[in-house]
Structure 1
Amino acid sequence: MDWLITNHIGGIAIGICTFLIIGMFHPIVIKAEYYFGTRCWWWFLVLGIAGIIGSVLVNDLLIASLLGVFAFSSFWSIKEIFEQRERVLKGWFPMNPKREQEYR
């Protein structure tokens, strides 16, 4: 980790990892809503709380920053899981035929 600071690329590393973390959550939200519906929102809450706790407990600035990004991306996913349901109702995303009764 010292070489990131020595070469002044810590900010770039955080930026790239932030981009990847946020990008990772998009398909996770889509799949979670497809298979579990909105009832899985609390999973994202637990992940977010765990990320905050981890961010506070870790001494390394890079890892603490990324845990913070992970935590707040998890919190944002709570909102997105409910919006994903609305996108499914509009026909923008496929509806899980096994859970069709939940969309009525």
Structure 2
Amino acid sequence: MNFLIEHNLAGIVIGAATFLIIGLFHPLVIKGEFYFGVRIWWIFLVMGIAAVAGSLLVDNILWSTLLAVWGASSLWSIGEMFEQRKRVEKGWFPEGPGSRRARRKK
């Protein structure tokens, strides 16, 4: 950590990690909605609350920031999951086994 601060690299590391975290959540939402529907929204809620709480407890600014980004991305993903369901209903994305229609057909 000292190396990052001494060479003014902490911001670049945080920016790159934020980019990767947000990039990770995009397919998680799409695949999660595809296979499970919106029923898994609560997993994102628990993960988000835990990460935000963890960010408050960690003294290291790098890890605290990354936990906050993870938590915010998790909480944002709840809304995106419901939006993804609408995109599937519009035909923009394929319908998976977790969709409402697929569950009704069983």
Shift in CA distance, 45/97, structure 1 to aligned 2, threshold 3 Å: closer
* Aligned length, in residue pairs: 104
Q: Distance in 1 between matches of 2:97 and 2:80?
A: 21
| TM-score, length basis structure 2 | 0.92
Deviation at 1:101, TM superposition (A): 3.9
Q: Which runs of 5+ in 1 are unaligned?
A: none
Shift in CA distance, 98/40, structure 1 to aligned 2, threshold 3 Å: closer
Residue 31 of structure 2 corresponds to residue 16 of structure 1: no
What pairs up with 1:1-104 in 2 under 5 angstroms? Answer: 1-97=1-97, 99=99, 100-101=101-102
RMSD: 1.7
* Percent of residue pairs identical: 56
Shift in CA distance, 84/98, structure 1 to aligned 2, threshold 3 Å: closer
Give the AA of the match of 1:79.
G
Give the AA of the match of 1:91.
G
Q: Which runs of 5+ in 2 are unaligned?
A: none
Runs of 4+ that moved beyond 6 A: none
Give the AA of the match of 1:6.
E
Deviation at 1:53, TM superposition (A): 1.3
Shift in CA distance, 32/97, structure 1 to aligned 2, threshold 3 Å: closer
| TM-score, length basis structure 1 | 0.93
Q: Distance in 1 between matches of 2:102 and 2:94?
A: 14
Q: Distance in 2 between matches of 1:5 and 1:97?
A: 48
